[in-house]
Chain A
């Protein structure tokens, strides 16, 4: 089969039975199929099309091949981290001089200045507050979007909007769309892994494939309540017993014999053949995945670089290191979650620096490590939460949800380094200049991956769906 570039109508739904049976589903299905196809000399001519996870050619030459999303669950305050607002300092304690949004999640009072000092860093002169000293050192690699906005003022809706583009309905997540569009490079690992995700605020819906074939859904490794050290893939480790390798090999050999003998009864059946292959893949995967999770082969300086030598940073640091190891081996989309800690309705002064401390060194480590390995060039790193926070106070030491403005940053993967794009108003309440909606972010990510967001469609329930729905504009200004 030729590997011609596809356009939207080639993404036909898998509706015939053969397609369904050969498509692999769930999680790290990352199936049998690719593997099967490479070995199955007699495969039908359509075999290539039948492997939904085979690497696919993008619509045009990509700048990025994979994505790492560093998700700060809870809604980090942009005005206390990267969006410096001198006017807010000056007007501290005064009422907001323009109307608050019609829909708000809670009552707020007057303007509250940031308790932290901002300084400019690097040649780019990016503003960073004192809570992120290590990220401040690498601002020349980063591109800040200070005019992000969404539309939902609650965690559940905002998480779904960030991950799927819809804050109302069950829709495929961005990682699923990317796997659907590009397939995966390593057929022995899931193409989309989410490390220690939170099961709250939509849980699996944030990494689900919804109506896309289940093969494209994210594979969770552990969950937010599990320390990264103990996070495992389903049915490998944990309660499941992985037997002694040589003995299990004997079982598999007998099983293969029995299953092959079956063809005498059934005649040729590609489903049954792929079933045999799926056991072989499972056997390899259960030895390879734990090897990847075992980071003892990393040198000491790398452990230190990711903050694994420090109690405050070691959990998130391990997640970041794992993300690099997966990306390095061709996993298309890896999400790392710093779970549900960034929701400072109160206790801003105490909790925000603690959160920042936990991720500062690991993020610095990840980006520098990707860079020194030459991986940053084609790995797109994205940092951010589901919304920003209000410049007006909640109580006297907190800020409410604010979907009208947030800051995200990107690095690598064809992004212009050392720039800042867009702006909020003088207090940071609303994005006002070069506004970037989540849809626009999604469109831009797909573009960097060589995919046209208007052409990456899937027909479901009588409609061609897109990650960007009917919206989305590529932010050309941030592309190198």
Chain B
């Protein structure tokens, strides 16, 4: 049964009681009041809300709340309680419900109950009959046995590479490479024959797409079919591997794994404007056959690799580390530590899957459920990445790191230049500070004058408070002393007078051009204070300046909005107080830009200054020497200070406030010096303040000249000094003071700023790469359940223990350890790096891996179908100096690769998934190949290599509610690998044809067969354009239909049509022509472009589209 909940009233009283009797934390022994509080208030709460779960033999989260010791010892998340420290107590964190840990889970305790528990902790957590000392920590002990079981250690993927000789086979003539013997042996064992070799044309088309992503040209087909030498195939392989298109095709495979994209995508979709350099790096690495181990090391730690003086290599390696930066990130995350740990998590997940085929990311919150990856290993890697600078900052929106790419000399120059700019800026700052000091020093000497003038200004502004406009009342203008002016009746100015459309006789002023102005001459009978009321309409705020007799009385008036520009929303408002002299005065309104629609204004004499203080102050001020020497900026600060201190009884100005407020109360007590003036009239008080300010300033200057900056000994002096020297008072060195600088100083500053600007402009803009660098080096602790708020044991930086061993030398405190990680990863003793890559290469040649789960070699992943072959390939990769081209060559020239896709009834029944590789799998071209092939056969492909096609700036938004890039950004003829990859708005052609999700590492794209692919082929602009181009080309050949058809088939499919096909196409063309003529008769759509093209041409285009959509074109055999 829940205990009765204390009412809010009693609990507040209790809390106040607690606060009053608050004893120091961890008081030696709880007082009887403490214990009564615990028993009456705290324990019932715990019983009602906590003990159901947190008690008994197996309390939730291993936290028992039955005893103080239980709370002090804590559970899985550590101690629940730090007596006296609510902010450090998990118990309090949990009941606040502001963090991830929320208790009770479903219902937040009422405010009063939370307050009770919080104050109980603050009070030192008194507990009846508590045993003072907590039990020693009973953290679940790490098991004393070995970290990993024998089963785990002997899991196939972690075993060293086995030296596996190719097995013997019966069919002696079939094998062309050791690879073939591995394949054939299994087939023979299963009693299945390998498929017969593919036809030369099918083989050439297959291998050309496979290596370059493009179809063979007619010339290439012709010369290969004519080459009857034994080296024909190997010549093709060499030619293809030497083509730059190889890097474009195979680099793209790698980009799938590296989750490459040109934008962030996750939340704030900013442009990764420099990502393309990483893409170009990858293409280059494949084309130059960069050894794979080096390729890995460069991507993980290129910035830390030894500089051998080769600038180009050094920069290339910096670019390579873009791999670590390219991931999708939550750039708008209010919790910067969470943001950082999430980014690290994404890096670990990608590194694990990409290079090791391990799902390391699973060990963030708990030990990996299936693989031998303890959480400690995760945080050992996380420490390496925490010590790495991936981000420039973790603000909202955060910035990823970019590194300038240039020769060291250029960078040194650049840095000198930057330093110079920084120094110049510093000099400007110093000069400004100095000028302000001079200005303030002089202004302090006139504190009395400022007090007078500022008080006058302030009183004037107060006159308007609560004043209702008179304008709305009838006959307002008839009242004594009131003057009405129609706005459009101005005497000088340029404002447009609008007199139509507003109703009869109504006119307003609106825009002028540039600086809008309107000036009015008014004649005043008796000088005094007047308020100006305006009637206006405005949809948007258009604040104006109001000047009287040349002086600004209000820099920002008339700025309100009324709802529309029309007469029905014309409203009156009191805008400014102006002091007008007897006789002629000039009132001016001006604004840079258009005015609000002003109809008229009233000048109303003010009667509010009953006390006459304002008059007195004005009279006093008029007698001061050099009134023009007061600075408006300082004056404004004085007014602000008066406003801020008016209710402050302890301010040095309290007596002054009392005097000008007409209060009848007893004057506030001040020091003896000011007290002398307490009952004297205002002028004497003003003079008193003035002389005291000067005296105090003298005192202070003298004291500081002696090097002492302690407060003045006398409190009254000190209070007055505060007014003169406080950084929040009237003499604060604000930015606005610059307006009071002398003309010479202003000119000098302007010149300095101009110089800095040109220095900045002269700074050469260096290219940037998304890249990492080492940051501040630190080891992490285990984050219990993945949260940085609950830390566990330290996890020193290191490598996964199942592979690297349990005893690892600690990593240096001087470096993140990335380079060591990269070196460890590519040691020949690490079996995973070569196995995973050899398997990827196989996957990209055959459409499936020997381990089909290419990115997961763990327990949940698939087992190798040919483990001997996999280890042979991995060993060969290392033995051949990690040359991928060499491995390609071996595979491409094998009989296995040369098999046809021929269907075999018995094999298909026995092994429907082709696990034994009894034939080559038929392959639908990838998204990029489909688009590239279309452009290629249309003869329109732009073969330039590298660079970026992004049309938005680096770090700018690529998508908002819609797409910020030009809609025609993809309408180019560059190869598909160069098309922008926008993470949250993928190119629709890519999306339709199974492009890999660019946010997740993926070495095994799926292939689907869906309607959007058909719609693309039927309706898209690209297919349309290519069909038109090809049709035109064929029609230009002359009018022999048979030879036209031969050319068409040759250029699209690489072969001639047979007689049936020729007949079929011929009859299609004639039927289509006839139908088109018929259709035109009923087609009344004048805008239909089809009608502008002859039925003959349309028929040929239709035939082209059909062939481009055909299975033969879209698949490789």
Interface residues, chain A, with chain B CB atoms under 8 Å away: 14-18, 20-32, 97-99, 101-105, 151-157, 159-160, 167-170, 198-205, 208, 210-211, 213-215, 223-226, 234-236, 239-244, 246-248, 250-252, 254-255, 257-259, 262, 266-269, 271-272, 274-275, 278-279, 281-283, 285-286, 339-340, 404, 425-426, 430-435, 459, 461-463, 473
- What residues on A are CB-neighbors of B1009 within 8 Å? 21-22, 24, 31-32, 271, 274-275, 278
Contacts of B667 in A (CB 8 A): none
The answer to whether A28 touches B1012 (Cβ under 8 A) is yes
Q: Give me 26 A-to-B residue pairs in the complex whose CB atoms sit less than 8 angstroms apart, sorted by A's number.
A: A17-B921, A23-B1006, A25-B994, A26-B1012, A30-B1011, A97-B111, A152-B333, A159-B267, A170-B997, A199-B960, A199-B985, A200-B269, A210-B1000, A225-B960, A246-B1079, A254-B1068, A258-B1064, A259-B1110, A266-B901, A269-B922, A271-B922, A279-B1014, A430-B97, A461-B856, A462-B371, A462-B860
A430, B1098: Cα distance in complex, Å: 67
Q: How far is the CA of A30 from the CA of B1015 in the complex (A)?
A: 13
Question: Complex: how many Å from CA A247 to CA B370?
Answer: 58
Residue contact B1110 to A203, C-beta cutoff 8 Å: no
Task: Judge if B174 is at the interface, Cβ distance under 8 Å.
Answer: no
Do B266 and A236 touch across chains, with their CB atoms under 8 A apart? Answer: no
- Measured CB to CB, the closest approach of chain A to B353, in angstroms, equals 8
B362 touches A286 (CB 8 A): no
Contact B1008–A25 (Cβ < 8 Å): yes
User: Is B1008 in contact with A461, judged by CB distance below 8 angstroms?
Assistant: no
- Closest chain B residue to A226 by CB distance? B962
> By the criterion CB–CB under 8 Å, are B330 and A167 in contact?
yes
Chain A: minimal CB distance from B957 (Å):
8
- Asked whether B111 lies within 8 Å of A425 as measured between CB atoms, the reply is yes
In the complex, A25→B847 CA distance in Å?
18
The answer to whether B1111 and A259 touch across the interface, beta carbons within 8 angstroms, is yes
Given contacts A199-B962, A200-B960, A204-B985, contact A250 B1011 (CB under 8 A): no
Contact A102 B1008 (CB under 8 A): no
- Residues of A within 8 Å of B1064, CB to CB, are 254, 257-258
* Chain B residues whose C-beta falls within 8 Å of the C-beta of A102 in the assembled complex: 98-99
B128 to chain A, nearest CB (A): 29
B265 at the interface (CB under 8 A from A): yes
**Measured between C-beta atoms, what is the minimum distance from B1054 to chain A in Å?**
14
Question: What CA separation (Å) do A290 and B224 show in the bound complex?
Answer: 49
Pairs A-B, 9 closest by C-beta atoms? A156-B267, A225-B962, A267-B903, A203-B984, A25-B1008, A29-B1010, A224-B961, A282-B1014, A199-B959
A30 / chain B contacts, CB cutoff of 8 Å: 1011
A433 to B111, CA, bound (A): 12
Minimum CB distance partner of B904 in chain A: A267
Closest residue of chain A to B98 (Cβ to Cβ) is A101
B768 at the interface (CB under 8 A from A): no
Is B913 among interface residues, defined by CB-CB distance under 8 A? Answer: yes
Chain A's closest residue to B1019 (CB) is A240
Q: List the B residue with the shortest CB-CB distance to A473.
A: B106
Distance in angstroms from B12 CB to nearest chain A CB is: 10
Name the B residues within 8 Å of A278 (CB-CB): 1009-1011, 1013-1014
Given known contacts A105-B396, A204-B986, A251-B1102, is B1018 in contact with A269 (CB within 8 Å)? no
Q: Say yes or no: A205-B1000 contact (C-beta < 8 A), given A215-B1010, A235-B1012, A281-B1014.
A: no
Residue of B whose beta carbon sits closest to that of A13: B853
Contact of A432 among B108, B268, B342 (CB under 8 A): B108
B1071 at the interface (CB under 8 A from A): yes
Q: Report how far A200 CA is from B1015 CA in the complex, Å.
A: 27
Q: Which of B1079-1117 contact A (CB under 8 A)?
A: 1079, 1083, 1088, 1090, 1098, 1102-1103, 1105-1107, 1109-1112, 1115, 1117
Closest to B359 in A: A462
A98 near B111 with CB under 8 A, answer: yes
Q: A239 contacts which chain B residues (CB < 8 A)? A: 1021
Q: Quote the shortest CB–CB distance from B315 to chain A (angstroms).
A: 32
A104 CA to B1011 CA in the complex, in Å?
46
B76 within 8 A of A: no
Chain B residues within an 8 Å CB radius of A247: 1072, 1075-1076, 1079, 1098, 1102
Chain B min CB distance to A134 (Å): 24
CA–CA, A16 and B847, complex, Å: 11
Task: Judge if B167 is at the interface, Cβ distance under 8 Å.
Answer: no
- A18 contacts B912, CB within 8 Å? yes
B984 lies within 8 A of A223 (CB): no
A29–B991 Cα distance when bound, in Å, is 11
Q: How far is the CB of B1001 from chain A (nearest CB, A)?
A: 9
| Bound CA span A213–B1008, Å | 10
**Alpha-carbon distance A262/B997, docked complex (angstroms):** 32
**Is the Cβ of B1010 less than 8 Å from the Cβ of A25?**
yes
Q: A214-B1006, A235-B1019 are in contact. Are A26 and B992 (CB under 8 A)?
A: yes
0/1 per residue, B346-376, Cβ < 8 Å to A? 1000000100000101100000111100000
Interchain nearest-CB distance for A345 vs B (Å): 13
List chain A residues, Cβ under 8 A from B757. Answer: none
B917 to chain A, nearest CB (A): 12
Q: Is B748 among interface residues, defined by CB-CB distance under 8 A?
A: no
Tell whether, in the assembled complex, residue B1007 and residue A21 are in contact, meaning their CB atoms are under 8 Å apart.
yes
B988-1006: which have CB < 8 Å to A? 988, 991-992, 994, 997, 999-1000, 1006
Q: What is the distance, in angstroms, from A397's C-beta to the closest C-beta of chain B?
A: 13
Residues of chain A within 8 A (CB-CB) of B106 are 434-435, 473
Of A24, A241, A269, A285, most buried by chain B (CB within 10 Å of CB) is: A241
Interface contact B332-A155, CB-CB below 8 Å: yes
- The reply to whether A251 and B1106 contact each other, CB–CB distance below 8 Å, is yes
Chain B 840-857 interface 0/1 with A at a Cβ cutoff of 8 Å (1 = within): 000000011000110110
* Contacting residues of chain B (808-865) with chain A, CB-CB under 8 angstroms: 847-848, 852-853, 855-856, 858-862
Partner of B269, one of A203, A250, A255: A203
Complex alpha-carbon distance, A271 and B1012, angstroms = 16
* Cβ-based interface call for B135 (8 A): no
When the two chains form their complex, are residues B922 and A32 in contact, meaning their CB atoms are under 8 A apart? no
Cβ contacts under 8 Å, A269 to chain B: 903, 922
Instruction: Enumerate B488-531 residues with CB–CB distance to A below 8 Å.
Output: none
Assuming the contacts A214-B1006, A267-B903, asked whether A404 and B1111 have C-beta atoms less than 8 A apart, the reply is no
What chain B residues lie within 8 Å of A254 (beta carbons)?
1064, 1068, 1103, 1106
Would A272 and B1010 count as touching, CB distance under 8 A?
A: no
- Distance between A72 CB and nearest chain B CB, rounded to angstroms: 14
| Residues B268-309 near A (CB distance < 8 A) | 268-269
Which residues of A sit under 8 angstroms from B997, Cβ to Cβ? 170, 208, 210-211
B58 neighbours in A (Cβ, 8 Å):
none
Contacts of B151 in A (CB 8 A): none
Contact yes or no, A255 B1109, CB < 8 A: yes
CB-CB under 8 A from B368, the residues of chain A are: 462
Interface centre among A236, A267, A461 (most CB of B within 10 A): A461
**Which residues of B are found within 8 Å of A153, using beta-carbon distances?**
334
Interfacial chain A residues near B1014, Cβ < 8 Å: 278-279, 281-283
Complex Cα–Cα for A20 and B843 (A): 15
Quick one: which of B210-237 are within 8 Å of A by CB? none
Closest CB in chain B relative to A50 CB, distance in Å: 11
Given A18-B913, A213-B1006, A268-B903, the answer on whether A262 and B860 have CB atoms closer than 8 Å is no
Chain A residue numbers with a CB within 8 Å of B962 are 199, 223-226
> Smallest Cβ distance from A212 to chain B, in angstroms?
11
In the complex, B914 has a CB within 8 A of chain A: yes
| CB-CB nearest in chain A for B1098 | A247
Q: Complex: how many Å from CA A286 to CA B1011?
A: 10
CA distance A251 to B856 in the complex (A): 44
- Taking a contact as CB atoms closer than 8 A, the residue among B110, B963, B1019, B1115 that contacts A225 in the complex is B963
The answer to whether A463 touches B267 (Cβ under 8 A) is no
Q: Does B312 contact A (CB under 8 A)?
A: no
Q: A29-B1008, A31-B1009, A210-B1000 are in contact. Are A99 and B1079 (CB under 8 A)?
A: no
Q: Are A156 and B268 in contact (CB under 8 A)?
A: yes
- Contact between B107 and A434, CB atoms less than 8 A apart: yes
Per-residue interface assignment for chain B, residues 65 to 99, with 1 indicating a CB less than 8 Å from any chain A CB and 0 otherwise: 00000000000000000000000000000001111
